[in-house]
């Protein structure tokens, strides 16, 4: 008991110190991140094939062992590693009380600008840590996981200079990986692929708070939901459903205010995105450079909706180039346009509320289920009892449930200047006359979090379903 008490004191003191340090540094009005000038000896503005990408990541990990850790979450169809580089002052282990965030690039193989920008982001972080106060603060208080390429097989057959089309978009089996995840609104019958299975396993093991997926073919930050429930009037008509699918109707999450804010952070720090200029005369323009995904065009099986609904991770899709695969000489311009956005977006993980769920002895409670009252998509604690939720300034209620404990509701306020620190203590459920007081039981995987009430769905069939699927494919090949 003495050892447990001592451990608890050390745990909480360390946690409070880390969180307080983060808060103090946020208040310190750090100078803006500096411009990054690449050293061509290590990384130039060119496209790197998989072997070159692997050599760069391995060399960087060897050169900066105190700031980086390289790991693979699996392999592609053709056996290429799906590399992830952690960049942080604690690269090999989770920092208690500090969030994990991620970027994923090249989910469509013929959209490689994000792939290259993420390599430069890694290089920028490791070479600026000792000279740039903002970068140092970010790496000291965040674990950043960067996957440059989720679809290395598709990239291998893509063609530089191809601004449109589908060559290389899909994986080696011809599957669109951004249509291959479980979907909340409609059953996704597409066979799971090794690349998407690896990502699903990855995000089930790490409690990511914030995520960005980098794409090409447009210039906009697109936020959930990507899919939409079908209106009742269209339930019995495949033709009606087809046209309903392509109407510009937003599909809003319970956290729409947060997603709009996150998208605006990226767009407004970008050199051009917030102007909302259309890439081509025939393509849509986006007010302030952001859009709800379904309002742009609906899709089934998208990665950002899966991150959010299944794991409470706020993911935004970042379309960063009008041309899907622009010439290499334009990459430096894309870096200059996106550098500040990529950094400022990750810093938003430190907005809102964060803390621990503990038992009466101060021991962390793992996999406690939480949700903000009125926002019916939830999240869970880590094995250390930690939780985070990005929120805008305001008054909120946090609902907390864990098996074997009485549920609690805690009120708190979020301010603009720094994250709210909130620790919640749960008491065990009491027994009364041989029966256990009812308590919340978390749902089994994959529905392990609070989710919105399931909408009415229908099954597409026949020729109209085929036409609808074809239009969806054509539209996504053109616009991303």
User: Annotated active-site positions, please?
Assistant: 319
Q: Distance between CA atoms of 143 and 147, rounded to whole angstroms?
A: 13
Query: Strand 143-147 and strand 218-223: pairing?
Result: unpaired
3-state secondary structure the chain: CHHHHHHHHHHHHHHHHHHHHHHHHHHCCCCCCCCCCCCCCCCCCCCCCHHHHHHHHHHHHHHCCCCEEEEEEEECCCCCEEEEEEECCCCCCCCCCCCEEEEEECCCCCCCHHHHHHHHHHHHHHHHCCCCHHHHHHHHHCEEEEECCCCHHHHHCCCCCCCCCCCCCCCCCCCCHHHCCCCCCCCCCCCCCHHHHHHHHHHHHCCEEEEEEEECCEEEEEECCCCCCCCHHHCCCHHHHHHHHCCCCCCCCCCHHHHHHHHHHHHHHCCCHHHCCCCCCCCCCCHHHEEEHHHHCCCCCCHHHHHHHHHCCEEEEEEEECCCCCCHHHHHHHHHHHHHHHHHHHHHHHCCEEEEEECCCCCECCCCEEEECCCCCCEECCCCCEEEECCCCEEEEEEEECCCECCEEEEEEECCCCCEEEEEECCECCEECCEECCCCCCCCCCCCCCCCCCCCCCCCCHHHHHHHHHHHHHHHHHHC
């Amino acid at each position: 008991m003495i050892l447990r008490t001592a451990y608890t004191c050390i745990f909480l003191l360390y946690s409070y110190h880390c969180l307080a340090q983060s808060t103090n540094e946020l208040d310190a009005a750090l100078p803006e991140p500096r411009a990054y000038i690449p050293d061509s000896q290590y990384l130039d503005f060119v496209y790197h094939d998989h072997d070159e990408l692997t050599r760069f990541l391995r060399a960087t990990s060897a050169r900066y062992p105190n700031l980086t850790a390289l790991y693979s979450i699996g392999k592609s169809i053709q056996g290429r590693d799906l590399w992830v580089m952690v960049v942080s002052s604690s690269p090999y282990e989770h920092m208690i009380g500090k969030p994990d965030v991620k970027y994923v690039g090249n989910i469509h193989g013929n959209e490689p600008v994000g792939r290259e920008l993420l390599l430069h982001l890694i290089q920028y972080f490791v070479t600026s840590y000792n000279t740039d106060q903002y970068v140092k603060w970010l790496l000291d208080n965040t674990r950043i996981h960067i996957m440059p390429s989720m679809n290395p097989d598709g990239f291998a057959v893509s063609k530089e200079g191809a601004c449109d089309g589908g060559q290389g978009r899909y994986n080696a089996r011809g599957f669109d990986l951004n249509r291959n995840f479980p979907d909340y609104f409609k059953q996704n019958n597409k066979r799971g692929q090794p690349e998407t299975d690896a990502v699903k396993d990855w995000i089930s093991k790490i409690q990511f708070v914030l995520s960005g997926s980098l794409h090409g073919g447009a210039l906009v930050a697109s936020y959930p939901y990507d899919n939409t429930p079908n209106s009742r009037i269209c339930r019995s008509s495949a033709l009606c459903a087809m046209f309903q699918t392509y109407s510009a109707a937003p599909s809003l999450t319970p956290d729409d205010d947060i997603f709009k804010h996150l998208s605006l952070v990226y767009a407004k720090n970008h050199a051009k995105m917030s102007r909302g200029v259309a890439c081509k005369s025939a393509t849509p323009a986006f007010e302030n450079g952001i859009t709800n995904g379904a309002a742009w065009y609906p899709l089934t099986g998208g990665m950002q909706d899966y991150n959010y609904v299944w794991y409470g991770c706020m993911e935004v899709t970042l379309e960063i180039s009008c041309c899907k695969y622009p010439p290499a000489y334009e990459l430096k311009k894309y870096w200059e346009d996106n550098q500040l956005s990529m950094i400022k977006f990750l810093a938003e993980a430190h907005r809102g509320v964060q803390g621990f769920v503990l038992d009466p002895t101060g021991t962390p409670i793992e996999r406690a289920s939480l949700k903000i009252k009125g926002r019916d998509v939830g999240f869970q604690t880590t094995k250390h009892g930690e939780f985070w939720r990005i929120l805008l300034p305001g008054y909120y209620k946090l609902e907390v449930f864990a098996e074997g404990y009485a549920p609690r509701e805690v009120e708190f306020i979020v301010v603009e200047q720094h994250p709210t620190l909130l620790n919640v203590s749960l008491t065990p459920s009491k027994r009364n006359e041989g029966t256990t007081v009812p308590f919340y039981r978390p749902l089994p995987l994959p529905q392990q979090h609070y989710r919105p009430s399931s909408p009415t769905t229908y099954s597409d069939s026949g020729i109209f379903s085929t036409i609808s699927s074809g239009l969806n494919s054509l539209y996504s090949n053109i616009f991303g």
